[in-house]
Structure 1
Amino acid sequence: MTVRTLNIRLLREGRDIERAFTDTFAPNAGRALQRGPWELIEGATVFVGQIYSNPPKWRSFIEEGSNEIPDEIFTGGAGAVIFVPIGARFAAICFGHIHIALNDDAFERQFGLKVTLNSVPGSNIRSLDLATPDAVTFQKRVQASRDSDVNAFGVDRLRDVARVAGGTPKDPSFARFVAGKDSLSITCELDINDVQKKCNEIFKVYEKTDYKTDFKWVDNLRPVIEKDLIEQLDEKLFVDLGELRKGNPVDLHMSPPEVANYIEGSELHYNGFGSHGATFHSLAITDYISELNRCKFTGDIKEIKEKHRISAKPSDKDQFSEKWKVYDCFIHEASLTSKTDTLYFILFAGNWFQVEALFKDSVNKFFDEIDTVNIIGKTVAHNEQELIANLVATRAADLLKLDREKINPAGVRNANLEPADFLSDKKHFIHLKDGHSSGPISHLWSQGIVSAEAFVGDKEFRKKLRSIVKSEKKGFEVHLPKSTERVVREKYTIVYGIMRQPYADGTLGLPFFSKVSLQVSVERLRKLGFDVAIELIEKPASSAGVRRGRTSSVATSEEAGGKALAKS
């Protein structure tokens, strides 16, 4: 028996072989591959050919100093694929550079990942690629020198998306090693006459649910890559945009797709559909919808994705430096229902994610059960700085400002740790953030944890904090323990206050991924012994100042075509 390594993909159900290639390499196309039967398996088909053949990039450099370069020097890549019938489906065994010729949408996504996790126990993982979607998506690859437990790979089971996995199967007769994402790399003992048998074996492993024992968390979030599915979801998004344009409430809102440099009060322009001269001061779905109506936009979702842009600049700058696609700023939830199931999706930072229904429900349930407080209340402030200034002026009796008070923990220089934005006479450490995007919100959760850990574990931190509080408001330090005293943690509450504009239906909320990262932080703070509470602080809806030449005026909601929207 020969040990072989094969690269295998699975054709999507209902797709025929002819539609498995890109237009360039499809049958009857100009660069169609040579086709024929693979006679060792009845019904198997092989496609083979030269995928590319180009002059090497370094050729011109060599020719600068030599005329002796043969004309027939090329770099090239050949490829082949054997389509093996497995029941009503086809496995595709891939060789060389054939992936260039294949249409990714024709094949099952996460096929290789699912086979790997169904066959490899949690104790036998060798390599794991993870992504953490948020305002900034982090990706990482963790490799072990030998099979290791998945818990050693630092997986955040609430937030991480599994991209690629590799390890040693529990059944050595199945394979010696497997790894995969969309395609599967399998190293196994294989006689050439047993290829179809092995493909059927692999398909049976693919259909199992053994992965739920050690890797159930991989179902929580899955990036949607299938173009046809994205098109369906985009159409639902476009329908909801139409409902907003009619004045009907829809749970669709906007957030910068990355940590932005501007703050509320800066200037924003919506570009790409004739919206010239209208200046806004925050990112809001109501403003964008108003501009679509004012400009009588009649395009489709494809035009929105390709052409609509947002430019922004801080109030202290002359140039618009931030530029995003409008589509990348949408945050939207959608569902698709089949005869047997309902699938849930979230659009975030320009990408659709499929969200497992139970995971979605559990995250929302956890968020809804977090204690809520009403310390700040509805505000007229447009940004965090205005809110802090307002609280200093009006709440001096019960709140002490700690914003911009920096403390270095023991043994650390230049850490400049901020204990909180305010300390209340009810022993609340209040952390505030203008939550115009998920980036600042996620950073807020981290601030609360770091501050709480220093407060509990660092006597020097507590000593410096008590000194600052006493110097700012003598007598207020009684709300803090002395550096030599034990912190009675249950007496203190970590409060997250997030400024948010109301959604189109008038309610306040947080983006789904912010709820996910908040759950991680709340669980950690509770393990430290602190109570945690949240306050969603309603701030004013944005207003547009329309500038034409040297004059400026404020556009009414009727002028913007959004009277009903203004009410919501």
Structure 2
Amino acid sequence: MPKRKSTRTLNVRLLRTTRTPETAFSPSFAIGEARALEQRPWDGVDGASLFIGQVYANPPGWTDFLAEGSADLPTDMITSGAGAVLFLPVKDRTVAVCFGHVHLALNDDAFERQFGLKVTLNSVPRGNIRTLDLATPDAVTFQKRVQASKDSDVQAFGVDMLRDLARVAGGTPKDEAFAKFVAGKDAVSITCEVEPANIHEKCAEIVRAYKKKDYQKEFAWVDNMRVVHERDVIEALDVRLFEAICNLRDGKVSDLHMAPPEVVNYTEGSQLHYNGFGSHGKTFHSLSIDDYVSELERCNFEGDIDDVKGAHRIKAKGDSEEEFSEKWRVYDCFVFETSLGTGASQQHYVLFAGDWYQVEKKFKKQIEDFFDATEKVSIIGATECRNEEELITDLHANRTDLLKLDQEKINPADVRYANLEPCDFFSEHKEFVHLKDGHSSGPISHLWSQGVVSAEAFISDAEFRKKLRSKVKSFGRGFEIHLPKSTDKVVRDDFKVVFGIMRKPYKDGSLGLPFFSKVSFQTAAIRIQQQFGIPVAIELIEKPASEVAGTEDDGDDE
């Protein structure tokens, strides 16, 4: 009777085609360096090689703490970690089977990204998922891990297939001979029956699983976007970014613009400093690529993209604050879209909140087509108001066709303290107008959410409609005739949800939204239109370009 193979868990990576085993290590572990692992042969597989050794051996970091109260601690204590990596050629690719702590010695840039994720999704049916890590990129990127007690359908994990990035997946493969369990991101962890004599065969199976396109049937959304980690690709993208900065300095057109990388607590009219290149605290009132570029020119900046990424900073403070409390890298505030390659190999990328994202071409077109097809209206028009607060005050004072409901709170039925704001303005044409100063994608994403919550309450909650009509009637301007009574059937097509976003024009005078704002808009618009049956429209409200305060601060130029 043949000997049964042992069940083991292997950690497997795939070298990029431009790399060799000798170039797969981080600099301190590179061939010829003092910490390089020892290279050994691997019998039975032509071209295979094994690297093995001690990855680290250091005194425990906690001994200094204990030595404060006990001076005679042993001196021969160490924490150590051994590791090994077995490189196996599999046709035109090279697989790396990793053991112990060898990951600390490897250069992540040498290996294929999403290798483990694609092996998993090509071998695990959508109903056999056990764990899923997701990230939702936005002004603040949210990450979550969802684990099920047993194999479950991917839909049970609450995936937003437009917005979510799949980071890690794990589950039970359909083919039990392939593996009992598989999980992965860049590396794949595979629990399977394997022995040294057939490890090459198992690696060949893993590579075949990676090359399949099965995942595109049930998990096609994982290709929509991915964070770019490869340093060489990031360097090429940063070259394009710096070209855009140089073009703006030369007076040429570029779509490069700026937005805070997080939701901020200051409003337009506060103070900003661009620091790190001799600007000496010249004060601006809002974040603007034009202001940043003008400062580069004024200060005769002659550095490169590494200087921009490493040294250039932004400080901000509100009018009531004494110190500049907000601080970001300028690089983290860039919003930029570009592409690399030509023809069929061309790839699209978006820089947002300091990370580059690769955007699948069909997905990008889908998002852009949806946004372009959305009705565009002109209810507000261009404004000289600098922020949302000023705009609401101006409209309330001068527009008789709009009823201000900003800060008017209504509780839905059976809910206390919900304080739901129906909209900022209700129009005589039955439009629920939600306004937001779109200086960053955080407020824009919040705007979409406001529209969804308000529309849901209006359609599904008769008590909410009754309170809304009563509130509107209390202003004595007759707008209640445009709202149904609580007992009336809502004619959904009679109403419209309008999102008004204040935006400064790009260099060429056009108005637009960041790509990720368009992604989150589509999710919200589909829900309002399809689930609640209310049409949706957009108005991009042109606001003035920022103005320099005309003062300089003697504070630090950080």
Which TM-score tier does this pair reach, normalised by the shorter chain?
over 0.9
CA contact (8 A) 1:47 1:81 kept: yes
Q: What are the within-5 Å matches in structure 2 for residues 285-434 of structure 1? A: 285-338=289-342, 340-395=344-399, 397-434=400-437
Alignment equivalent of 2:214, drawn from 210, 222, 227: 210
Q: Secondary structure at the match of 2:29?
A: coil
Instruction: Provide closer, same or farther for how the CA distance between residues 549 and 13 of structure 1 changes in structure 2, counting only shifts above 3 A.
Output: closer
1:40 shift after superposition: 3.8
Please give the alpha-carbon distance, in whole angstroms, between the structure 2 residues aligned to 1:164 and 1:534.
Answer: 35
1:340 shift after superposition: 4.5
- Per the alignment, residue 155 of structure 1 pairs with 159
Residue deviations 1:201-239 (CA, integer Å, cap 9, x gap): 111111111110100000000100001100000001101
Amino acid at match of 1:469: V
Q: Secondary structure at the match of 1:27?
A: coil
Moved more, 54-63 or 82-91: 54-63
- Per the alignment, residue 441 of structure 1 pairs with 444
- Per the alignment, residue 227 of structure 2 pairs with 223
Alignment equivalent of 2:273, drawn from 257, 269, 274: 269
Instruction: Provide closer, same or farther for how the CA distance between residues 232 and 467 of structure 1 changes in structure 2, counting only shifts above 3 A.
Output: same
Please give the alpha-carbon distance, in whole angstroms, between the structure 2 residues aligned to 1:223 and 1:320.
Answer: 31
Residue deviations 1:233-280 (CA, integer Å, cap 9, x gap): 000110111111111111111000000111111111111111124211
Amino acid at match of 1:409: P
- Per the alignment, residue 554 of structure 1 pairs with none
Instruction: Provide closer, same or farther for how the CA distance between residues 65 and 280 of structure 1 changes in structure 2, counting only shifts above 3 A.
Output: closer
Q: What are the within-5 Å matches in structure 2 for residues 63-102 of structure 1? A: 63-66=67-70, 69-102=73-106
1:14 shift after superposition: 2.2
Q: Secondary structure at the match of 1:123?
A: helix
TM-score, length-scaled by structure 1: 0.95
Alignment equivalent of 1:495, drawn from 498, 502, 512: 498
- Per the alignment, residue 541 of structure 1 pairs with 545
1:67 shift after superposition: 5.3
Amino acid at match of 1:238: F
- Per the alignment, residue 146 of structure 1 pairs with 150
Q: What are the within-5 Å matches in structure 2 for residues 10-49 of structure 1? A: 10-49=14-53
- Per the alignment, residue 454 of structure 2 pairs with 451
Please give the alpha-carbon distance, in whole angstroms, between the structure 2 residues aligned to 1:180 and 1:522.
Answer: 33
Please give the alpha-carbon distance, in whole angstroms, between the structure 2 residues aligned to 1:244 and 1:452.
Answer: 42
Amino acid at match of 2:82: A
Structure 1 residue runs of 4 or more that deviate by more than 3 Å after TM superposition: 60-69
Give 5+ residue unaligned stretches, structure 1: 551-568
Residue deviations 1:402-424 (CA, integer Å, cap 9, x gap): 00101111222221111100000
Amino acid at match of 1:31: R
Q: Secondary structure at the match of 1:291?
A: helix
Please give the alpha-carbon distance, in whole angstroms, between the structure 1 residues aligned to 2:527 and 2:552.
Answer: 52
1:191 shift after superposition: 2.8
- Per the alignment, residue 253 of structure 2 pairs with 249
Residue deviations 1:62-90 (CA, integer Å, cap 9, x gap): 44454553322111111111111112321
Please give the alpha-carbon distance, in whole angstroms, between the structure 1 residues aligned to 2:420 and 2:65.
Answer: 54
Matched, 1:483 2:486: yes
Amino acid at match of 2:384: V
Residue deviations 1:114-134 (CA, integer Å, cap 9, x gap): 111111111111111000000
Please give the alpha-carbon distance, in whole angstroms, between the structure 2 residues aligned to 1:549 and 1:237.
Answer: 29
Please give the alpha-carbon distance, in whole angstroms, between the structure 2 residues aligned to 1:522 and 1:501.
Answer: 23
Please give the alpha-carbon distance, in whole angstroms, between the structure 1 residues aligned to 2:204 and 2:15.
Answer: 13
- Per the alignment, residue 55 of structure 2 pairs with 51
Moved more, 247-256 or 53-62: 53-62
Matched, 1:118 2:122: yes
Please give the alpha-carbon distance, in whole angstroms, between the structure 2 residues aligned to 1:446 and 1:149.
Answer: 27
1:548 shift after superposition: 3.9
Report the identity percentage.
62
Instruction: Provide closer, same or farther for how the CA distance between residues 436 and 339 of structure 1 changes in structure 2, counting only shifts above 3 A.
Output: closer
CA contact (8 A) 1:277 1:546 kept: no
Amino acid at match of 2:551: R
Please give the alpha-carbon distance, in whole angstroms, between the structure 2 residues aligned to 1:195 and 1:14.
Answer: 24
Moved more, 225-234 or 333-342: 333-342
Q: What are the within-5 Å matches in structure 2 for residues 129-208 of structure 1? A: 129-208=133-212
